[in-house]
């Protein structure tokens, strides 16, 4: 069974930084594009960032461009999200999600999700 386990969330002051991790197991991590999706308390889902299989292609929603950096370590089956200059509206549960991929293409939907890690930005 595919497993995605996020960690690194917590309480941080506005302007601070956090690094989220997502440990993947039970699938060949290096052959799947990965994403982060967040959900503010009581709100809907919002895509944050995606990364291609090799880590070369990275994509961000406008509100986090220049502040967040997505990366991956395929040797350690781990996805990361470095979050800097955090703001109150970044408060959310952050989910790691696997994009569906075949042997030739990856698609923009998510077939497996982690349980999420809560990030709270507050003074």
Partner 1 sequence: QSVLTQPPSVSGAPGQRVTISCTASISNNGAVYDVHWYQQLPGKAPKLLIYGDTNRPSGVPDRFSGSKSGTSASLAITGLQAEDEADYYCQSYDSNLSGPVFGGGTKLTVL
- Contact residues: partner 1, CB under 8 A: 35, 37, 44-47, 50, 59-62, 95, 100, 107-116
- Smallest distance, Å, CB 31 to partner 1? 18
Nearest-approach distance from CB 112 to partner 1, in angstroms: 8
CB 117 within 8 A of CB 6: yes
Residue with token string 């696997």: 98
Separation CA 116–CA 77 (nearest Å): 17
CB of 28 to partner 1, least distance (A): 19
Q: How near is the Cβ of 100 to partner 1 at its closest, in Å?
A: 7
Nearer to partner 1, 75 or 104 (CB): 104
Is the CB of 17 or the CB of 63 nearer to partner 1? 63
Beta carbon nearer to partner 1, 17 or 25: 25
Give the tokens for residue 97: 């999600």
**Nearer of residues 12 and 48 to partner 1, judged by Cβ:** 48
Helix, strand, coil distribution of the chain in percent, nearest 5: 5, 55, 40
**At CA 41, angle to CA 39 and CA 47, rounded to 5?**
15
Q: How many whole angstroms separate alpha carbon 82 and alpha carbon 75?
A: 19
């Amino acid at each position: 069974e595919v497993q995605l386990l996020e960690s690194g969330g917590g309480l941080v002051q506005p302007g601070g930084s956090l690094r989220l991790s997502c440990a993947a197991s039970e699938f060949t991590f290096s052959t799947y594009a990965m994403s982060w999706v967040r959900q503010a308390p009581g709100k809907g889902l919002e895509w944050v960032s995606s990364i291609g299989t090799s880590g070369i292609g990275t994509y961000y929603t406008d509100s986090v461009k220049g502040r967040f950096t997505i990366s991956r370590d395929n040797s350690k089956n781990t996805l990361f999200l470095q979050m800097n200059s955090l703001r109150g509206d970044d408060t959310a549960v952050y989910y790691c999600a696997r994009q569906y991929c075949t042997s030739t293409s990856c698609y923009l939907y998510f077939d497996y999700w982690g349980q999420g890690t809560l990030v709270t930005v507050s003074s």
